[in-house]
Amino acid sequence: MTSPSELGEFLRIRRAALQPGDVGVVGYGVRRVPGLRREELAMLAGVSATYYTRLEQGLSVNASEAVIDSIARALNLTADERAHLFDLARPQRSVRRKAQVRPDHARPGTLRLINSLLGTPAVIIGRRSEVLGWNTLGHRLVAGHLDVDSPTRPHDRPNTTRMIFLDGHTRELYGRWSEEAERAVSSLRVLAAKNPDDPELVALVGELSLKSPEFGKLWAQHPVAACVSGVKQFRHPEVGDFELAFEVLTPPDESMHRLLMFTPEPGSPAEEAIQLLGREVDVADVDSTAARLG
């Protein structure tokens, strides 16, 4: 998935988003297209216009780190966008092994960890944004309409990005759906650059592009963000409306797994909602046990 054309697309989109006044360039002539001209960006980055043009056209590979860094500064990239640019320009340094095509699985220790967090909703997300596991609260919070055991079945396990765009229950779950949609695409862009040529990831992007015009529009804009923390607005069918902070933790290995955890502010409506959801979980567990024994 990562290729010179991806690099060129990213550069063109970010260049088009900059106006001359944003970077202290005096505009001249009539501009037929938005944003900076290639020669203006090249001047800011300290490279030749010919070389920069070749980068945008996908005709030059293995640019030096100094050149990439200069272009990142000229484009006023964020830290996440700068890291993404390096992944696109130097994919051989970002991937140390061939992309896995076999189904991924959460480590048993990570599953034990999230199941020990009795008052904290938690979800394990894989390298293709698929759900590898969740604790009971995490399941009831983000996907109570799905089978709790579905992450253990690779052939039909949930995928967080697919759910955002194609699952009606998930769309209704978020009070600020457009924000969640952009967050999902931004995160998927990061995964795609770090996991190039993964056929399942390519298939996911293709499926969503065909089935969701909203995804296709966002994907074409090439948003990039690691999305490691923030706030989500929930409109939960069981416990009502509330805002919930989230944190994403990444293990220090090459699995590209992420641990998504939700934590409410003490004394907030969110804390009350999570406590209520926990009581609902306890009741459901009792009913399930009674049904098995009955």
Compute CA 243 distance to the chain's CA centroid, rounded to the nearest angstrom: 20
**Given this model, what pLDDT does residue 165 score?**
98
Q: Where do the domains of the chain lie, and which CATH numbers do they carry?
A: 4-94 (1.10.260.40), 108-293 (3.30.450.180)
CB–CB of 158/151 below 8 Å? yes
Q: What's the pLDDT score for residue 99?
A: 46
Q: Which residues pair with 123 in a beta bridge?
A: 134, 260
DSSP string spanning 138-149?
HHHHHHTTS-TT
In 3D space, the residue among 40, 2, 46 whose CA is nearest the CA of residue 22 turns out to be 40
- Rg over CA atoms, the chain: 22
Report if pTM > 0.85. no
Instruction: Report d(CA 167, CA 130) in Å as an integer.
Output: 14
Distances (CA, A) of 6 to 76, 181, 238, 239, 242: 19, 21, 42, 43, 38
CB 6 within 8 A of CB 197: no
In b/e form, how buried is each residue of 30-64, taking b as 16+ CB within 10 angstroms? eeeeebbbbebbbbbbebeeeebbbbbeeebeebe
Segments of the chain scoring below 50 in pLDDT: 93-97, 99-100, 286-294
**pLDDT value for 57:** 85
Measured torsion, CA atoms of residues 171, 177, 178, 181, in degrees rounded to the nearest 10: -60
The 10s digit of each residue's pLDDT in 219-240 is 999 999 988 999 999 999 999 9
Which helix H or strand E contains 290, and what residues bound it?
Answer: helix 269-293
pLDDT digits (tens, 9 = 90+) for 187-226: 999 999 888 778 999 999 999 999 999 999 999 999 999 8
3-state secondary structure of 216: helix
pLDDT at 3: 60
Contact 189, 13 (CB under 8 A): no
